[in-house]
C-alpha cells in the first residue's frame, strides 16, 4: 500500500474527527468552564495584592499556563479519545496506511489548539458580561490585558530576547516529540503523559548529578550565532529521531499485549 494518499488521508481524517466529536466537544467545554471559573475566582472572590490589575494579570498567567501545557502535552493525548480494545482494533483495520493513521492521530492536538483559543475568548466574554451586569466598573477583558502586557514588552524585544524565544520554541517542539514517544510506547493511554513526565524529571536529575563530571554545553549571551545554529540543529535531529521512534512503536501497537509496545 502507498504510504500516503491525499484523498485517502482526507477520508480518514473526516472519519476520525467525526468519531472523536464527543471527545473534542468535551475537551472544549472543560477548558471553557475551567477558564471561566479561574477568571471569576481571581476577579471576584480572591483579593490579589496590587488590586484588580494584579488580578487580571493572574488571569493572563493562567491562560498562558493552560494553553502552554495543552500544546506541550498534545502528542501525549493522541489516543485519549479511544476507549478500550475495540477502538484500537477498529483503527488498525481501517483501509489506510499506518503513516496516515499516525498523522491523523497527531493532528488531533493541532485541531484542539484553536478550540482552546475559542474557549479562552468565550470565557473572557462571559466574565466581562458578568462584571458588567453586576455593575463592576473594573471589569476588563483578560485578552486585552494580555495584549497590553505584550505590547509593553515589544520595545525590549532585542536580540537576546529573540534568541530566548527561538530556544523556547525549539525546546517545546522537542518536548512534544518526547511525549509522542510516550504516547505510543506505553499501553496505559490514560497515564502515559504522567510516566513520560516522570522520565523527564529523572533525566533532568541525572544531568544535574553528572554535571560535575563533564562540561555541559550551554547557550548564553557570549554564545555566537553558530553555537545557536548547532544547538538548534541537535535538538531538531533529536526531535526527528523521537517522532521516528514514536511512529515505529505505533506500527508495533498490540491490541492485547504487554505494558509497552516493544
- Looking at per-residue pLDDT, the higher value among 200 and 170 belongs to 170
Model pLDDT for residues 209-221, shown as the tens digit of each residue = 666 544 444 555 5
The pLDDT of residue 211: 61
Cell triple for 172:
517545546
The pLDDT of residue 10: 87
Classify residue 188 as left (phi > 0), alpha (psi -120 to 50) or beta: beta
- Looking at per-residue pLDDT, the higher value among 115 and 111 belongs to 115
Burial of 221 (0-12, 13-18, 19+ CB in 10 A): exposed
The length of the chain, given as a count of residues: 262
Amino acid at each position: 500500500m502507498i504510504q500516503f494518499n491525499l484523498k485517502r488521508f482526507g477520508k480518514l481524517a473526516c472519519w476520525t474527527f467525526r468519531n472523536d466529536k464527543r471527545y473534542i466537544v468535551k475537551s472544549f467545554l472543560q477548558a471553557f468552564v475551567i477558564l471561566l471559573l479561574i477568571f471569576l475566582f481571581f476577579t471576584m472572590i480572591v483579593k490579589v495584592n496590587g488590586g484588580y490589575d494584579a488580578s487580571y494579570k493572574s488571569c493572563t498567567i493562567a491562560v498562558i499556563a493552560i494553553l502552554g501545557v495543552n500544546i506541550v502535552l498534545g502528542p501525549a493525548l493522541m489516543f485519549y479519545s479511544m476507549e478500550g480494545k475495540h477502538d484500537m482494533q477498529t483503527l488498525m483495520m481501517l483501509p489506510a496506511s499506518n503513516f496516515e493513521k499516525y498523522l491523523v492521530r497527531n493532528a488531533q492536538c493541532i485541531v484542539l489548539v484553536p478550540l482552546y483559543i475559542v474557549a479562552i475568548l468565550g470565557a473572557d466574554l462571559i466574565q466581562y458580561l458578568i462584571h458588567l451586569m453586576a455593575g463592576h466598573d473594573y471589569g476588563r477583558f483578560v485578552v486585552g490585558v494580555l495584549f497590553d502586557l505584550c505590547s509593553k514588552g515589544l520595545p525590549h524585544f532585542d536580540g537576546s530576547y529573540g534568541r530566548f524565544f527561538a530556544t523556547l520554541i525549539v525546546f517545546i517542539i522537542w518536548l512534544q516529540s518526547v511525549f509522542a514517544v510516550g504516547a505510543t510506547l506505553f499501553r496505559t493511554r490514560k497515564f502515559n503523559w504522567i510516566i513520560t513526565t516522570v522520565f523527564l524529571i529523572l533525566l533532568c536529575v541525572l544531568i544535574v548529578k553528572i554535571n560535575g563530571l563533564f562540561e555541559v554545553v550551554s547557550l548564553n549571551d557570549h554564545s555566537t550565532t553558530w553555537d545557536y545554529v548547532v544547538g538548534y540543529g541537535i535538538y531538531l535531529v533529536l526531535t526527528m529521531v523521537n517522532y521516528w521512534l514514536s511512529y515505529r512503536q505505533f506500527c508495533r501497537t498490540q491490541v492485547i499485549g504487554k505494558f509497552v509496545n516493544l
